[in-house]
């Protein structure tokens, strides 16, 4: 059985209505998935209004949903989980869409903190997980597509593939669930993540992967 509740995730009243309707109909909450997001870009010195809209939907909606749902999930006896949708852009932070990368970097940190606190408070009865899809054939990535059979490009995964991997990794108890796609392997993801993390450790320039003094070094290291 399922129920559709129409609302705006950036509106706290709509999220509270969702929480109340869910509790009234089903009592307990087994799984909370925070999946809504927008990708409208904003650069470092662009209009703050663009930044606010991005963060309201991608970040603060998740904060509000956790505020509304998680206390009840802690109180109930049914084991449950929170799954927040992150992005590789929130981990390796490529240039070009700073507002989106900031919002998804925030989701990563928020979910890590949530996992730690839930582990202390519930001893694993309520868990948190960070699901990071790769390139996926969805309306967000392919606006205007009719998604007709046979029209999917080769590179992206389908949403069904993402869900299948999520279920497998969720059952294993994994926190970081980072999905590959048909163009990017788990090994390539791992190398990109490591390089980004080592910018600080090695005192390289910010985003050195895209810095002209380091692009060749990155390419050689990637090929090893």
Domain boundary among 97, 132, 167: 132
The domain in which residue 31 lies consists of 12-132
In Å, how far from its chain's centre is CA 14? 21
Asked, for residue 81, whether it belongs to a domain, the answer is: yes
Q: Render pLDDT for 88-118 as a digit per residue (tens, 0 to 9).
A: 999 999 999 999 999 999 999 999 999 999 9
Asked, for residue 169, whether it belongs to a domain, the answer is: no
Give the CATH number, domain containing residue 52: 3.40.50.720
Asked, for residue 164, whether it belongs to a domain, the answer is: no
Number of domains making up the chain: 2
- Find which of 36-50, 150-164, 166-180 is predicted with most confidence, using mean pLDDT: 166-180
Cα distance between residue 69 and residue 17, in whole Å? 11
Tell me: do 109 and 209 sit in the same domain.
no
Contact 102, 109 (CB under 8 A): no
Average pLDDT (38-57) is 94
Tell me: do 116 and 220 sit in the same domain.
no
Contact 108, 90 (CB under 8 A): yes
- Per-residue confidence (pLDDT) for residue 157, from 0 to 100: 95
Tell me: do 16 and 95 sit in the same domain.
yes
Could you tell me which residue, 23 or 146, shows the higher pLDDT?
Answer: 23
Q: Render pLDDT for 158-215 as a digit per residue (tens, 0 to 9).
A: 999 999 999 999 999 999 999 999 999 999 999 999 999 999 999 999 999 999 999 9
Asked, for residue 168, whether it belongs to a domain, the answer is: no
Asked, for residue 195, whether it belongs to a domain, the answer is: yes
Cα distance between residue 211 and residue 207, in whole Å? 7
């Amino acid at each position: 059985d399922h129920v559709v509740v129409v609302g705006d995730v950036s509106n706290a009243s709509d999220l509270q209505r969702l929480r109340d309707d869910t509790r009234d109909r089903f009592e307990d909450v087994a799984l909370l998935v925070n999946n809504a997001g927008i990708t409208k870009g904003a650069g470092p010195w662009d209009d703050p209004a663009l930044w606010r809209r991005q963060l309201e939907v991608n970040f603060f909606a998740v904060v509000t949903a956790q505020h509304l749902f998680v206390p009840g999930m802690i109180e109930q006896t049914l084991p449950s989980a929170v799954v927040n949708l992150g992005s590789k852009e929130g981990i390796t932070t490529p240039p070009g869409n700073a507002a989106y990368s900031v919002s998804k970097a925030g989701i990563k940190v928020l979910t890590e903190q949530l996992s730690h606190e839930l582990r202390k408070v519930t001893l694993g009865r309520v868990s948190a997980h960070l699901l990071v899809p790769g390139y996926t054939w969805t309306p967000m990535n392919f606006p205007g597509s009719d998604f007709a059979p046979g029209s999917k490009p080769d590179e992206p995964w389908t949403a069904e593939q993402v869900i299948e991997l999520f279920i497998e990794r969720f059952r294993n108890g994994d926190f970081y669930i980072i999905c590959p796609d048909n163009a990017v392997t788990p090994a390539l993801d791992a190398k990109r993540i490591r390089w980004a993390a080592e910018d600080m450790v090695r005192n390289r320039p910010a985003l050195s992967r895209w810095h002209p003094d380091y692009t060749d070094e990155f390419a050689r290291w990637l090929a090893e």
